[in-house]
Amino acid sequence: MVTIRIHTKYEGAWSDADELLLCLDTGKWRFERPVVDSKKCNYCGLCALFCPPQCMMDTGDHFEPNLKFCKGCGICVRECPRKAISVLSEGEFRDEEKE
Ligand code: SF4
Ligand code: SF4
């Protein structure tokens, strides 16, 4: 198995993603939300590598989407080798966000 870990932003394909890409309000485009099962995640970093707006964030032992920028494209779900990411309709979180 090939393991890829992104230790610094300079190893990513888009080295200045923090400054350049994470300025678009892409979170508003989302109809579906990726949800990571941290117990299944093996911290390989592939979701972060493939995520178009580079919004999969390293928490130290797994990756989580930054929902401010996640546009719900589902690419991370398809690329995850551990099937650790599920996609849920945004409607399922509607009540939670009102609280
Ligand atoms: S969620 Fe999947 S692709 Fe992302 S780091 Fe974990 S195992 Fe790898
Ligand atoms: S669904 Fe996954 S790949 Fe797409 S923007 Fe959100 S975190 Fe990135």
Which of residues 24 and 68 earns the better pLDDT score? 68
Share above pLDDT 90 across residues of the chain, in percent, rounded to a whole number: 56
The half-sphere exposure of 56 on its side-chain side, counting CA atoms within 13 A, is 29
Residue 59 Cα to ligand 2 middle (Å) = 16
Comparing 21-25, 42-46, 58-62, which segment has the lowest mean pLDDT?
A: 21-25
Give the ligand at the shortest distance from the Cα of 61.
1
| Ligand 1 site, residue 62, Cβ cutoff 6 A | yes
The half-sphere exposure of 54 on its side-chain side, counting CA atoms within 13 A, is 18
Instruction: Tell me the CA end-to-end span of the chain in Å, nearest whole number.
Output: 43
Give the ligand at the shortest distance from the Cα of 36.
1
Asked if residue 40 has pLDDT above 50, the reply is yes
Ligand 2 site residues, Cβ closer than 6 angstroms:
34, 51-53, 55-56, 65, 70-76
Average pLDDT for the chain = 82
Ordered domains of the chain (ranges, CATH): 21-98 (3.30.70.20)
Rounded to two decimals, the pTM is 0.78
Q: Which position has the token pair 């032992």? A: 61
